[in-house]
Amino acid sequence: MANPKPIQVGERVRWSYGRISEVLEMPNLIEIQRQSYEWFLSEGLRETFRDVSPIQDFTGNLSLEFIDYSLGEPKYSVAECKERDVTYAAPLRVKVRLTNRETGEIKEQDVFMGDFPLMT
């Protein structure tokens, strides 16, 4: 029977009863999801707004265009969110342009679209 060997895994010590003394590094299983989410925040949202812009009313007189977006600072830190049992999120603001084609009037404004969840 093999003698157990202590192996450090993170902050914990595990006992290995295997014959091979080498232990493979644990892969970062969440890295792919994080990269995908970062892409979504930086490019995916922009593509989505571009796909639905402009929005026109049924008469064709009003047109709403999405110009740009920004994510603000989260209201609480990760630790505070865990303590308060709330979602770690940042405010999503979108700059929109409303054009009245009848009068030629153009209005630009930043619109709060909601709190957007963030990955930690």
Stated pTM of the model: 0.67
CB under 8 A, 24+ apart: contacts of 66-71: 66/94, 66/95, 66/96, 67/94, 67/95, 67/96, 67/97, 67/108, 68/94, 68/95, 69/45, 69/93, 69/94, 69/95, 69/113, 70/95, 71/41, 71/116
Predicted pLDDT of residue 37: 93
- Could you tell me the two tokens for 52? 């639905």
Predicted pLDDT of residue 109: 94
Quick check: 90 and 72 in contact, CB under 8 A?
yes
Residue boundaries of the structural domains of the chain: 54-120
Mapping DSSP to helix (H, G, I), strand (E, B) and coil, where does residue 10 land?
coil
What tens-digit pLDDT sequence spans the chain (120 residues)? 567 777 777 788 888 776 666 667 778 888 899 999 999 998 999 999 999 888 898 888 999 999 999 999 999 999 999 999 999 999 999 999 999 988 889 999 999 999 999 988
